[in-house]
Amino acid sequence: MVPFKMPILVLTLYLLQGTGASLIKLNGNGYENVVIAIDPNVPEDEKLIQQIEDMISEASTYLYRATEKRFYFESVSILIPKTWQPKSDYEKPKHETYKNADIIIEVPNSPGNDIPRIDQFGKCGERGERIYLTPRIIRGEMLNVFGPKGKVLVHEWAHFRWGVFEEYNEDNPFYQFDGKNVPVKCSEGITGTNKVYACSGGSCSIRDCWTDPKTGKLNKDCMFIPDKVQSEKASIMFMQSIDSVVEFCTEKNHNRFAPNLQNKMCYLKSTWEVIQDSEDYKKSTPMMAAEPPKSRFSLKQIGERILVLVIDTSRSMKVGNRLNRLRQASQFFLLQIIEKGSWTGIVTFDSSATIQSELIQIESDVQRKTLISRLPNVTVAGGGAHICSGLRTAFMVVKKKFLTDGSEMVLLTDGEDNTTNTCFEEVKQSGAIIHTIVLGPSTEKGLEKLSEMTGGMKTTATDNVQNNGLIDAFSALSSGNAAITQRSIKLESKGITLTNEGWMNGTVIIDSTVGKDTLFLVTWTAQQPEMFVTDPSGNIYKNFAVETSSQMAYLQIPNTAQVGIWTYSLKSSAQTLTLTVTSRAANPTVSPITVDSRMNKDTSRFPSPMIVYAEVRQGSLPIIGANVTALIESADGTVTLELLDNGAGADVFKNDGVYSRYFTAYKKNGRYSLKVRALGGTNTQRSRPKVNGAFYIPGWVENGEIKMNPPKPEISEDENQANMQSFSRTSSGGSFIVSNIPPTVPDVFPPNRIIDLEANVEDDHINLTWTAPGDDFDTGRAEEYIIKMSKDILTLRENFDAALQVNTTDLIPNDANAKEDFMFKPDFLIENGTTVFLAIKAVDKANLTSPISNIAQASLIIPSAEDPFSPSPEDPFSPSGTSISTIVLSVVGTVAAVAIIVSVTVCVMKKKR
C-alpha cells in the first residue's frame, strides 16, 4: 500500500538529513536553522550573545572561502537559558531545544580545559552529532592556541557536517618515512621545528628531540611547533590556527602517508575529496559574489515547559491491557518525570477528542495528584482512532494560555490510524514538538513523520509487559531544556514473568552523583506482591504507596538516598512484575553519570546494517571500562548485544566513552526499540576527554624564537583517577523501523572493516596487530585473512589483489573483537630506511570479503652511533637546560643541521648499494 505521496517525499528528505535530530537544512548554498544553545550552567553574560553572532559571521566568511564559494551560514537560532534576564527581542523557540541543538556553549568540566570538541561516532563521510565550545573560546581568549573562533568553528563544522577526521595525531605526532622521523602534517608544506618542552619543579625548558637507539623513533614528548608566519594554505583539519591556513587539503596537497585518523578512516582520501562526495556538495553549485550573504540570527529564550498528554482511548487500545499500562506509565510520568514548574494538560481521543484536563502548572504534589485523577479510566475504550483530532484539541488547550510554539505533545497511540497525514501542515505550522509513543506492532509511518518534522522523540513499546517498554518510553521524556542536574535519571528498568509463586530480587546501585528524588516503582498484572527495599545500611522500607486499581505501587526515598547497593525483594503469585528506579543528581553543581543511546539511523532497508551507540559519560568525561549491554526488542523477542568501546568494528574511537556494536540480528520487518543498560564496577574509570576537535597548538616559532603557549591543561590526577565507584543506569534509545527483510534471511553480511591495523618491524620480522572482525560484521568468526604488502601505498589501496601476498596459512582467525597478533618474515630483506605498507581483508564462510583495512606502515631506521639526536649520556632533562624566558633558538641553524643529516644519509645509503 502506498498510503500517501506527500509524506513519502518529505520522509526521504528527512532521511537524507542523516541521523541526529538536527533541524539544519541546506538551502542553495546557505545552512539554515543552525541551533546554538547556551547551556543553563553558563553564567549570565549578555555580551556572549553578540560574540556568538560574531563567531558565526566570521566562520561564514572562512567557510565560504574554504569551500570555493559553496557554503555559508544563512540563519542561526541562539537558545538563551531560562534563567537569563528576558528581553523584548527574544522570541519563543519552536522546534529548537537543547536536545537537538547543533552547537552547545558550555563551561568545561574541569576549569581551564577549554578544548573545542565534537561528538562524531560514524564512518568517513557520516555526520557528527554535535559541537561543544566554551565561553572562553567564544570570547576569543584562546586565540593563541586555537586561532580565530570563526576558523575553529569551520574546523568543527567539517567534522560535523561532512564526516572528515583529524589530520594531526596527538598520540603519535611523528612517523618514519624514507629513513627519517617526520611530523604528521597536512599539507607537507607547513613549516616548523621539532622540540621537547620539559617542565619540572616550576621551571620549563626547551630541548632538542632525540632518537631512541633501539627503535629509531623520536622520544615520546617530542612535538612539532609550527612557524607563526608562513604561506601554506592547507589544512584546516590539521592546524586551523596558523594564520595562512584557510583551505582544506585537496587531492593535490594531501599527505597520504601521515598516520592520522583522516587517512585511516577515509582510505587515504583528502578532506576536500570527502567533502566533494557529500550530499551537500552534490546538490550545490558555487556562488559568484566575493563575500557570502550576511548571516541572520534569531534569539530565542527557553520558557516554561508546556506539555499535553494526548492519549488514544480507541477500541484497539483495549487489546492486552494496554489502557491500564498506559495509566501506570502516565501516572509515573506525572509523579516523577515531569519537572516542577511545567504546565500540563490531558486530552483523550478515539474518533473525536475530549479535554480531560486544561493546563495546570505543577507546583507541588497537589497538582500532580489532580492530573493523575484525570487520566482516562480503564473501561472507557471507544471507537476508531483519529490522531489529528487529538492533536488539534491539544493545540486548543495550549492556545487558551500560550502560543503553541515550543509546546510539547506526548502522543500515545497504538497507531491504527492511516489519516495522520491530513494534519501534517497544521502540525508543522503549530510550532509544537510531537513526541510519539507507539504501543503495539503497528508500523504506520505517518507517526514517525510527526516526530521527525517537529524534532520530537520516537519510542515504541510492545505488548510484552515484562519488557517495561511503556514506562521506559515515558521516562525518556524528561525536559530536553532542563539542566542535566535537574533531569530524572533512570537507574534500573526490569521485568519478570513468574510462572509460579516466587521472588523478583535484585540490586540497584546508588552512586554519589545521584540520589535525590529516588523512586522505586512496581507494577503487576494480577495481584499486589509483597514488596520491600533495603538500603546499604540494612534499613528496610515497606511503606509503598499502592494504587490498587492501576496495579502499581511506588516508594519515594526521602532526602538523598544513601550511596551504595540497595536491594529490592518482591514476592508474588504467578504474574508479570516490573520494577523501575529513577533518581536525580545529588548535587546541582556536579554532573551526574549519564547514558544516552541511539541507533545510527531511524529506518533501515535490509541489508543495510545498523549500529547501536551508547555514550557513557559524566559531563564531557568518558566513563571507560563499563559493562554496556543493548536490549533490542521487537514483537518477535529481544536480542542482547554487548557494546564495546574498543576502537574497532563499529567503534571509531577507543576509550571515548562511546560504546558501539553492529546490529544485524533482525528477522522480521517492523518496529524495534532500543534499551541500554550500563554497569560500572571495579574496572570502570573516568577518563580524560578524548580529543576530537581543534588541535591545541603547543607554541609558535616567531622570528626564530620559540614562544610556548601555556601547556594543555590536564585533568588533575585527583579528578581523573577519582575512585570510580559502581553505578547502574538504564537508557531508552528510541525506536527504529527495519524493512525489506526477505522471508529467509540470506548471509549477506561480510566481516567488518578492520580499522586498527598496526605494523612494527622487529629485527627481520614484521609484527601486525589488529582486532578480529566477525563472520557478520563484528559477530561470530571470520574464515580467513588476506594480508598484502607493498612499498607503494597507492598500489595497495587501488590494486589490493595484485599486491604481494603474505603467507597466512598458519593464521587462523579468532572470535570477533579478540586481539590478533601475527608475526612474519617477509620474502625480502628489510633494510635501514625501508618503509612497507600493509593492509588486510577478512573473508567469511559465505566468501564475503570485508573492505580493505586501514593501511599500516612499518619502517626501519637503525640509528647510527653518531646520530646527533641521540640523548646525551647524562639525564636529557638535567636542570642545565636554558630557561624558557631566555631561550632564543636559531631556526635557520636547525634547518642547516637537518640538511647536513639528510645529505649524510643519502651518502650512507648510496655506499650500501
Write b or e for each residue in 454-493: b if 16 or more Cβ atoms lie within 10 A of its Cβ, otherwise e.
bbbbbbbbbbbbebbbbbbbbbbbbbbbbbbbbbbbbbbb
| β-strand pairing of 784-790 with 804-805 | antiparallel
Q: Which is nearer to ligand NAG, 229 or 862 (CB)?
A: 862
Question: What residues are paired with 519 via a beta bridge?
Answer: 556, 582
Options 400-408, 483-491, 846-854, 863-871: segment touching ligand NAG (CB under 6 A): 863-871
Give, in order, the Cα–Cα distances in Å from 151 to each of 72, 551, 721, 751. Answer: 13, 58, 34, 39
Interface with ligand NAG, residue 721, by CB under 6 A? no
Q: Which is nearer to ligand NAG, 484 or 593 (CB)?
A: 593
Interface with ligand NAG, residue 760, by CB under 6 A? yes
| β-strand pairing of 593-599 with 610-618 | antiparallel
CB atoms within 10 A of CB 293: 15
Q: Work out which of 108, 128, 179, 480 binds ligand NAG, going by CB under 6 A.
A: 179
Q: Work out which of 351, 505, 507, 527 binds ligand NAG, going by CB under 6 A.
A: 505
Least distance between ligand NAG and beta carbon 684 (Å): 7
Q: Which is nearer to ligand NAG, 525 or 864 (CB)?
A: 864
Q: Work out which of 27, 200, 377, 883 binds ligand NAG, going by CB under 6 A.
A: 377
Least distance between ligand NAG and beta carbon 810 (Å): 5
Least distance between ligand NAG and beta carbon 802 (Å): 16
**CA dist., res. 54 & res. 697, Å (int):** 23
Q: Which is nearer to ligand NAG, 115 or 311 (CB)?
A: 311
Tracing cell 566554551 back to the chain, one arrives at: 134
Least distance between ligand NAG and beta carbon 597 (Å): 18
Q: Which is nearer to ligand NAG, 89 or 866 (CB)?
A: 866
Name which of 68, 69, 55 is nearest 146 in CA terms. 55
Least distance between ligand NAG and beta carbon 591 (Å): 21
799 HSE (CA, 13 A, CB side): 8
Interface with ligand NAG, residue 669, by CB under 6 A? no
Interface with ligand NAG, residue 40, by CB under 6 A? no
Q: Which is nearer to ligand NAG, 208 or 517 (CB)?
A: 208
Q: Work out which of 569, 587, 795, 870 binds ligand NAG, going by CB under 6 A.
A: 569
Residue 612 sits at φ, ψ, to 5 deg, of -95, 135
Hey, which residues are catalytic here?
156
Interface with ligand NAG, residue 908, by CB under 6 A? yes
Least distance between ligand NAG and beta carbon 568 (Å): 9
Interface with ligand NAG, residue 376, by CB under 6 A? yes
DSSP per residue over 797-824, as a string? HH-GGGSEEP--TT--PPBTTSEEEEEE
Interface with ligand NAG, residue 861, by CB under 6 A? yes
CB 581 within 8 A of CB 589: no
Options 459-467, 535-543, 590-598, 759-767: segment touching ligand NAG (CB under 6 A): 759-767
- Give the angle subtended at the CA of 248 by the CAs of 246 and 253, to the nearest 5°: 110
Considering only residues 788-807, where is the footprint of ligand NAG by CB under 6 A? Answer: 807
Options 372-380, 587-595, 737-745, 835-843: segment touching ligand NAG (CB under 6 A): 372-380
Q: Which is nearer to ligand NAG, 444 or 472 (CB)?
A: 444
Q: Which residues have a Cβ under 8 Å from the Cβ of 481 and sit 6 or more positions away?
A: 79, 82, 97, 98, 99, 302, 305
Interface with ligand NAG, residue 769, by CB under 6 A? yes
Q: Work out which of 801, 810, 874, 875 binds ligand NAG, going by CB under 6 A.
A: 810
Least distance between ligand NAG and beta carbon 352 (Å): 16
Interface with ligand NAG, residue 627, by CB under 6 A? yes
**CA dist., res. 72 & res. 891, Å (int):** 39
Interface with ligand NAG, residue 215, by CB under 6 A? no
Q: Which is nearer to ligand NAG, 107 or 898 (CB)?
A: 898
Name which of 274, 228, 272 is nearest 253 in CA terms. 272
Interface with ligand NAG, residue 899, by CB under 6 A? no
> Is the previous residue joined to 903 through a cis bond, with omega within 30 degrees of 0?
no
Q: Work out which of 374, 667, 668, 707 binds ligand NAG, going by CB under 6 A.
A: 374
Q: Work out which of 57, 219, 767, 795 binds ligand NAG, going by CB under 6 A.
A: 767
**CA dist., res. 800 & res. 839, Å (int):** 8
CB 875 within 8 A of CB 223: no
Distance of CA 178 to the CA centre of its chain: 38
Q: Measured in Å, how far apart are the chain's first and last C-alpha atoms?
A: 74
Q: What Rg, from alpha-carbon coordinates, does the chain have?
A: 30
Least distance between ligand NAG and beta carbon 809 (Å): 4
Q: Which is nearer to ligand NAG, 503 or 606 (CB)?
A: 503
652 HSE (CA, 13 A, CB side): 26
The footprint of ligand NAG (CB under 6 A) covers 3, 179, 356, 374, 376-377, 418, 503, 505, 569, 627, 679, 681, 760, 762, 767, 769, 807, 809-810, 821, 823, 832-833, 861-864, 867, 905, 908
